[in-house]
Amino acid sequence: MKKFLSVLTAIFFGLAVLINTAAFKSMLSGPALITATFVSLVLVLILSFVIASNYAAANKKNPGGNNKLSDYFKNIWAVIILITLFSFGISFAGGIMTFGAMTFARGADSIFMNGAVFTVPMFAVYLLGIYKSFAKLGYQDTQKQVFDLNFKILTLVLVFIFVMPSAVLSNAYSTYYLQNGIFVNFRSVFSFKIDLSVINDYDVVESNANLAMAPVMLKVLLTLAIEMAVAVSAYIRGKAQYAKRYLTGKDYKTV
């Protein structure tokens, strides 16, 4: 069951990468974002239902715990919604900070380290929040004897499919313009830059017909890989913390 779900999830993730690449390569930013977001939502809904139903069927005979399809489905979407809201909050706060700094420094002879002074701290705060959240989750799941690393990895992949359109958009159109300043996506940490030569240009930024999507997608995937590594290590760390505190010398079983 786990092998089947892992392969299926990898296929869906690859499909999401292809669709996002094609959408942002061929369309303007607005229609591309709408199209890619809709497709990603459909993919996530289908895959989350398949994962939840398979886990529910595999664990329906286990006593106690959350063994219903609806329980697994809610667990998946709780993580998706929480990470999405946290991402939005960090990016909004970073956007306000960037907007304020650039408004104050308009016309100054500075490039703010090409914008890294804003996005790097944003990304660091986000990763810290993810680490603490998943460490706590690993601790609690171990305590409840429902620790399941494979399920959490599949859930994270669903999160990444869901947020991929906004991440691609931010990396494809990453030059900072003052009129777009209230929201800076931290997932553009490897692409974001501030160009003071256009900081006073209030024209609408449209898509680049010669946009090279390969480096854009590589940067997006690198960002998501870092998120995955932090979340997984934190989840495992949470289990280790519980075991160290309560389970020394004792046998312990998880699903």
pTM, two decimals, is: 0.86
- The candidate with the shortest Cα–Cα distance to 118, out of 104, 97, 88, is 97
253: in domain: no
64: in domain: yes
**Average pLDDT of the chain, as a whole number:** 84
Share of the chain above pLDDT 70, in %: 79
Of 2-11, 27-36, 72-81, 242-251, give the lowest mean pLDDT range: 242-251
pLDDT at 65: 55
- The candidate with the shortest Cα–Cα distance to 11, out of 46, 57, 59, 37, is 46
pLDDT at 233 over 90: yes
65: in domain: yes
251: in domain: no
47: in domain: yes
CB 134 within 8 A of CB 238: yes
Category of 102 on φ-ψ map: left (φ > 0), alpha (ψ -120 to 50) or beta: alpha
Q: Which residues pair with 194 in a beta bridge?
A: 176
Band (33; pLDDT cuts 50, 70, 90): confident
70: in domain: yes
d(CA 14, CA 118): 31
Torsion of CA 192, 124, 83, 236, to 10 degrees: 140
pLDDT tens string 183-222: 888 999 998 877 665 555 444 444 444 668 899 999 999 9
d(CA 59, CA 146): 11
254: in domain: no
Share of the chain above pLDDT 90, in %: 52
Q: Would the CA dihedral through 221, 101, 121, 183 be positive or negative?
A: negative
Torsion of CA 16, 19, 24, 26, to 10 degrees: 180
Question: What domain count does the chain have?
Answer: 1
156: in domain: yes
* Domain extent at residue 205: 2-246
d(CA 89, CA 157): 21
Band (18; pLDDT cuts 50, 70, 90): very high
